[in-house]
Structure 1
Amino acid sequence: MLGIKQVHHIAVIASDYACSKTFYCDILGFTLQQEVYRAERDSWKGDLALNGQYLIELFSFPTPPARVSHPEACGLRHLAFAVDDIDRACDFLREKGVACEPVRLDPLTNKRFTFFSDPDNLPLELYQA
């Protein structure tokens, strides 16, 4: 048996590292645990935690290629974050200038959810737990 215990981290490459760091930390509420500049790669790497759990490695690279990022594109579809009150969370995001799609109802779970995007248009989801 392989023995996977949990997802260790998710890596995100940002076109504007400072902008994405602000978005993930100041708007979404992640905390920056560690940040290093890797001169040999001209790249920043920030380790971001949510509620004390290491979750995202945020990278920068000089000229990363563009990637299709719509939720229905082949590959990683989106990252989903659980919230207690989706209406309050959407209101908070809108106050910060982040557009949210209309809240929908998952017909399989009867839970409410919506999508929004990070500064590089990566699809993110809020899912009411």
Structure 2
Amino acid sequence: MNIKKIHHIAIITSDYNSSKLFYSEILGFKILKETYRSNRNSYKLDLLTEGGIQIELFSFPNPPERLTNPEATGLRHLAFQVEDIEKSVSYLTSKGISVEPVRIDEITGKKFTFFRDPDNLPLELYEE
């Protein structure tokens, strides 16, 4: 087996339109394709980050909420690399998004912070 990179990350949303707006207009990910699957009463939105990673947003009728946060088994958070964390934080807060104070990673010495998507999924900004 020769895994080359992460192809996509799938996220189930509780409010498809809010999440579509958040990921495409606020975070600026490019919409590749939007599909409505009538047999599942579900949308699938394929997005592309500037770094070439795809994010798939899914909607399903009445998905269960995340049970614990964030130290439950499974995906802990998604991290997005940015060039200027202060500029990114300023942008998010101008859009009404709450962002935690910027911290320094004790291992790498790099700046990072967390914010939330419309479903309370923890997202990280990491400055490189």
> TM-score scaled by structure 1?
0.95
Is 1:9 the counterpart of 2:8? The answer is yes
- The C-alpha deviation readout for 1:77-102, integer Å capped at 9, x for no partner, is 10000000000000000000110000
Give the RMSD, CA atoms, in angstroms: 1.2
Matching of residues 35-54 of structure 1 within 5 Å: 35-51=34-50, 53-54=52-53
Distance in 2, matches of 1:69 and 1:95, equals 29
Aligned to 2:71: 72
Contact kept in structure 2, 1:69 and 1:123, CA below 8 Å: no
* Structure 1 residues 126 and 15: alpha-carbon distance in aligned structure 2, compared to 1, 3 A threshold: same
> Distance in 2 between the 1:69 and 1:25 partners?
27
C-alpha deviations, 1:7-59, integer Å up to 9, x for none?
01000000010100000011111011100100000000000001272410100
For these two proteins, the number of residue pairs brought into alignment is: 128
Give the partner amino acid of 1:124.
Answer: L
Structure 1 segment 70-109 matched on structure 2, within 5 A: 70-109=69-108
119 and 69 in structure 1: CA distance in 2 versus 1, 3 angstrom threshold: farther
Q: Which secondary structure does the structure 2 equivalent of 1:41 belong to?
A: coil
Question: Runs of 4+ in structure 1 displaced over 4 angstroms?
Answer: none
Equivalent-residue separation in structure 2 for 1:58 and 1:69 (angstroms): 21
Q: Give ranges in structure 1 of 5+ residues lacking alignment.
A: none
- Deviation of 1:110 after TM superposition, in Å, equals 0.3
Cα distance in 2 for residues equivalent to 1:48 and 1:12: 11
How high is the TM-score relative to the length of structure 2?
A: 0.96
Q: Calculate percent identity across the aligned residue pairs.
A: 58
| TM-fit CA distance, 1:76 | 0.5
Aligned to 1:117: 116
Gaps of 5+ in 2: none
The CA deviation at 1:3 is 1.0
Structure-2 residue corresponding to 1:33? 32
3-state secondary structure, aligned to 1:93 = helix
